[in-house]
Structure 1
Amino acid sequence: MAQLSVFQKRIQAEIPLTRALGIELHSWDGSALLISAPLEPNSNHQGTGFGGSVYSVAVTAAWGLMELALADLGLKGSVVVQTGSIDYLEPVATDFYAICRLPGGEIPGRFRKALARHGKARLDLTTEVFCGTPNSSPQGDPVAVFQGRFVVQDARSTIASQL
């Protein structure tokens, strides 16, 4: 949990939009990141979630997952979104949360090999957005689904950078 608290402070400092959105990190278990945002600062003229806010929360979940997964590997790198799209399936009518999971529950071997060989790799991620209280095992269907490709560049060991 300490890692998540440090990461929460980091993203709030480095990505000011996350403060405005009210993003809160809830859990990271090594394969899934759960974050949430309140509806109030993210609402549109109809009182439902503003599409840009929902998209930003979903991207933040995927980007955050990549950052935390790299840290778990003892690596640091530049993580950026290369492409992304979102399907809005239902209106976001309450506070909401997003879950991004590693494909198959772990970092794919091809991704690890590319990082080791080139210091660079790409990974496609999916974030699901749900309404209600954050839950790592949601019961209903998502209200939005984000799909994006993330690129890690200049991957390097965090151990080497501490010496």
Structure 2
Amino acid sequence: MSQLSLFQKRIHDEIPLSRALGIQLHSWDGHSLLLSAPLEPNSNHQGTGFGGSVYSVAVTAAWGLTELALWDLGLRGNVVVQSGNIDYLEPVTSDFYVICRLPGEEIPERFRKSLARHGKGRLDLTAEVFCGEPTTMPEGDPVAVFQGRFVVQDVKSRITF
């Protein structure tokens, strides 16, 4: 089973809401995480994406990126969202996907040093929400943009998912 498949199972097992939202992981390249969710279980009374669902999928993308980045460093820790904000720019009118990228396409040196020295660190992330078929190279503008700070504590050497 691939790292992404194992992580997909972990997300659904440890975050039951992710299963109800229909979150599916598509790719992790060490720099960006791509995941998607269907509109139908995440719709509101107007037939567009419910704000809470869109927010939850975006938070899951950023949390997941943090977890996978730790994995790639050979580490594990307690990852939690410290703060988060989302701007809804357009209605979510179809199945949607989220891309979350590491700042500057790499794990920030300051974050690495903090993990090594203190066993904890903070990572500020942006996750962009798009409508349509999941792709790492979207053609249009995002319909929503999440910005959040994630805190990692109790960092230790990795064990398997």
Judge same fold: TM > 0.5, yes or no.
yes
Distance 1:128 1:156 in 2: 30
CA distance in 1, matches of 2:128, 2:11: 20
SS in 1 for 2:140: coil
Matched, 1:121 2:121: yes
The residue that corresponds to 1:12 in the other structure is 12
Shift of 1:26: 0.1
The residue that corresponds to 2:29 in the other structure is 29
1:86 to partner: Cα distance: 0.1
- 5+ residue gaps, structure 2, are none
Q: CA deviation at 1:42?
A: 0.1
Provide the C-alpha distance between the structure 2 equivalents of 1:37 and 1:110, rounded to a whole number of angstroms: 32
> SS at the partner of 1:66?
helix
Q: CA deviation at 1:13?
A: 0.3
Rounded Cα–Cα distance in structure 2 between residues aligned with 1:22 and 1:147: 22
How far apart are residue 150 of structure 1 and its match? 0.2
Aligned residue number for residue 87 of structure 2: 87
Instruction: Point out where structure 1 has 5 or more consecutive residues left out of the alignment.
Output: none
Distance, in Å, in 2 between the alignment partners of 1:122 and 1:10 is 22
TM-score (norm 2): 0.98
TM-score norm. by structure 1 comes to 0.97
Which residue matches 2:52?
Answer: 52
Instruction: State, as a whole percentage, how many aligned pairs show the same letter.
Output: 79
| Partner deviation per Cα, 1:25-60 (whole Å, 9 max, x = no partner) | 000000000000000000000000000000000000
Amino acid in structure 2 at the alignment position of 1:49 = G
Runs of 4+ in 1 over 3 A off after TM superposition: none
2:137 equivalent in structure 1: 137
Distance 1:13 1:108 in 2: 29
What amino acid maps onto 1:47 in structure 2? G
- Structure 1 residue 79: deviation in Å? 0.3
Inter-partner Cα distance in structure 2 for 1:86 and 1:110: 25
Cα drift, residue 121 of structure 1: 0.2
Residue deviations 1:97-148 (CA, integer Å, cap 9, x gap): 0000000000010000000000000010000000000000000000000000
Q: CA RMSD in A?
A: 1.0
